[in-house]
Structure 1
Amino acid sequence: MKHLLLLSFSLLMTLHLSAQHPYPPVGKVQMQKLNSTILNTERDYAIYLPKSYTTDTLRQFPVLYLLHGLYGNHKDWSERGHVADVANQVFDSGMADEMIIVMPDAGTDWYGYFNMKGWEYERFFFEEFMPAIEKRFRIKGDKAHRAIAGLSMGGGGTTAYAQKHPDLFASAYAMSALMALPEFGRAPSTDFKMQELNQSVTANSCIDHVIKADEAGKAALRSVRWFVDCGDDDFLFDVNLDFYRAMIKAHIPCQLRVRDGGHTWEYWHSALYLALPWVSNGFGK
């Protein structure tokens, strides 16, 4: 009986102290859905809201659209990239200002971020998804406070989206990016959806876009901050290097970071520690 009384007292004291000293708020990832008329289906997405989103209900935030890779989905960056843990650490340390991070799903049903037969994902992203997100959440919806980043297939989507819409993005951070279809990816595939993806990547080659750009196009590309981050053992290293060389030849400022690593989540998780401060430094400029 005595031990039971002591246990009850200890529990009451713990609850009392917890009420006096509650855990501080932290940024969290939420899973959400959005209905699409263009795609004729419901689309999933994940969104990270920083801690100040709940503590300062009048504040608006810059936004980063963070894209996943092939065979991935909207959960990848939270479950495999641990984006909330990285963001909370980076923001709390003062290395970057708080931002909202939006992670769409371009891997369920089809592959890729471009328009394909029966799957106009690029139209959906710009005509439905982005406007709906920036209306629903307290986002500063202008170029100066909007950035995009992504890995592999999403790195190619990142670069192509910012190339086509330089008026919408302040910064673009491409990780291990599918900038163009590499030689080994040109072999015929029996997967119809993969065939469509390969054709769309070729049609939206980020390298060709730079090479073929006229002076007005190059000037528009210079209004975006560019960062290419690729491991020295990555099978997409050559196409990332080709893109960087094309940018330098066209006199378009572009940062290149080559680190030890391959096409792995260990690499992309670590890239977030570089990407978030770099993206933050570009907001409002």
Structure 2
Amino acid sequence: MKFFITIVCGIVLSVLIPFAGMSQAVKSDNIIPETNMRGGKYPQILPNHHVVFRIKAPDAKKVQIDLGKKYDMVKEGDGTWTTTTDSISEGFHYYSLIVDGVTVADPASESFYGMSRMASGIEIPFAGGDYYALKNVPHGDIRIKNYYSTITKSWRKVFIYTPPGYDVNTAKKYPVLYILHGGGEDERGWAQQGKTDVILDNLIAQKKAKPMLIVMPDANIGGGGFGEDGLKAFANEMKQNIIPFIEKNYRTLNTSNNRALAGLSMGGINTLYTGVYNTNLFGYLGVFSSGWIAPSQKDLANAQYDYLQKNRAMVEKNLKLLWVSTGMKEDIAYNNCKTMLAKFDELKIKYTYSEYPGGHTWPVWRNNLYNFAPLLFK
């Protein structure tokens, strides 16, 4: 049994003992999430997608689970805290423990970088998740590379998906999708939470998508992707560093018709800024759960609408596809997206729109990639 001690500012909060290897039986119809640490019995998913959490923190005074909604845990006589959540929707969700007011990761689950910190994650399986299930098909690789940024004057990291067979046929060149994470995440998001490699492996095996490279950079630069400084900095990073690095070190087809740019949430705003102003570089754009934020980005939005009005013919000639998607009304970007699309309609900008049931969450964005990738490089 492993004991985990959480220490914040030098203060021992509690000994948190995950229920890995403990004797509690798992009911045959309960599910152990793939995100649990190896051998971990909790959390458990009930058939109705309610989730049971158990954690041992005998010295704690109050423990909660934060899964978007906070759930109070009940302490038992042996120092074990338990709770059962409401029904949780399909796919991947971040969650945290709150122990005596301090937010920490659950030692019983894998951790992921999200919400600008390491957080626990739980994977809720569902019948429609077959497209991101590991299967007996040829698999590509996720490669991690360091490159030097002339913008930040520092070394930065990029994740790169290479399709099956990339190292076999060394004469073949590939189109490239550059895909961006959301706010509070980094280059790991699409590779880990997004299951990009598995989604593309399955699509390629079914001949639904062309073999392609997928580049997953860190868009946190120049203050982030919400202010103009951050947007400009990332656009320059793409043009001056990321694209040249990829095209120097990988076998790529180096034309706009063989480059795509997409992103979720903050990454969608980066896509609007970098992509719309550079359709000579990107022939395909994907904007997932995004749109200019009102009212804080009003000036940025109006500047882009003015640009589109003056350059509509050129943009439409260059762009093969502008694909915009959101979750449903519970997606926090839904209204911003609809406002942007209304302006596109007014300007007669061509786009393709898609909705997928869900909020501002990874289940929606995985499905966005699944539906966007087959449309590329036709």
- Per the normalisation by structure 1, the TM-score is 0.78
For 2:227 and 2:262, the matched residues in 1 are separated by 16
Please say if residues 106 and 113 of structure 1, whose CA atoms lie closer than 8 Å, have aligned partners that are also in contact: no
Unaligned ranges ≥5, structure 1: 1-22, 187-200
Please say if residues 176 and 260 of structure 2, whose CA atoms lie closer than 8 Å, have aligned partners that are also in contact: yes
C-alpha deviation, 1:44, in angstroms? 0.7
Please say if residues 45 and 104 of structure 1, whose CA atoms lie closer than 8 Å, have aligned partners that are also in contact: yes
Please say if residues 32 and 46 of structure 1, whose CA atoms lie closer than 8 Å, have aligned partners that are also in contact: yes
1:233-272 to 2 correspondences below 5 Å = 233-272=330-369
Please say if residues 71 and 111 of structure 1, whose CA atoms lie closer than 8 Å, have aligned partners that are also in contact: no
Which residue of structure 1 lines up, in the alignment, with residue 166 of structure 2? 53
For 2:247 and 2:266, the matched residues in 1 are separated by 24
2:256 maps to 1:161: no
- Aligned identity (percent) is 26
Q: 1:182 to 1:160 in 2, by over 3 A?
A: same
The structure in which a higher percent of residues are strand is 2
Which residue of structure 1 lines up, in the alignment, with residue 375 of structure 2? 278
Which residue of structure 1 lines up, in the alignment, with residue 78 of structure 2? none
For 2:314 and 2:343, the matched residues in 1 are separated by 15
For 2:327 and 2:215, the matched residues in 1 are separated by 25
Deviations 1:254-275 (A, max 9, x none): 0111221110011111111101
Please say if residues 114 and 120 of structure 1, whose CA atoms lie closer than 8 Å, have aligned partners that are also in contact: no
1:187-226 to 2 correspondences below 5 Å = 201-205=297-301, 208-211=303-306, 213-215=308-310, 217-222=311-316, 223-224=318-319, 225-226=321-322
1:52 aligns to what SS in structure 2?
A: coil
2:326 maps to 1:230: yes
1:29 aligns to what SS in structure 2?
A: strand
- Per the normalisation by structure 2, the TM-score is 0.59
| Amino acid across the alignment from 1:129 | I
Unaligned ranges ≥5, structure 2: 1-135
Deviations 1:87-144 (A, max 9, x none): 0000110001100000001237842287628x93322221122112111110101111
For 2:155 and 2:137, the matched residues in 1 are separated by 35
For 1:171 and 1:268, the matched residues in 2 are separated by 17
For 1:54 and 1:257, the matched residues in 2 are separated by 35
Deviations 1:154-186 (A, max 9, x none): 011112212110111111011001x21235xx4
C-alpha deviation, 1:64, in angstroms? 0.3
| Amino acid across the alignment from 1:272 | L
| Amino acid across the alignment from 2:347 | A
For 1:152 and 1:132, the matched residues in 2 are separated by 25
2:367 aligns to what SS in structure 1?
A: helix
Q: RMSD of the TM alignment (CA)? A: 2.2
Q: 1:273 to 1:25 in 2, by over 3 A?
A: closer
Equivalent position to 2:154, from 41, 50, 57: 41
1:148 aligns to what SS in structure 2?
A: strand
Instruction: Tell me how many residue pairs correspond in the alignment.
Output: 239
1:35-184 to 2 correspondences below 5 Å = 35-107=148-220, 110-112=223-225, 116=229, 120-177=233-290, 179-183=291-295
Q: 1:37 to 1:254 in 2, by over 3 A?
A: same
Q: 1:55 to 1:221 in 2, by over 3 A?
A: same
The answer to which structure, 1 or 2, has the higher relative contact order (CA under 8 A, 6+ apart) is 1
For 1:253 and 1:180, the matched residues in 2 are separated by 18
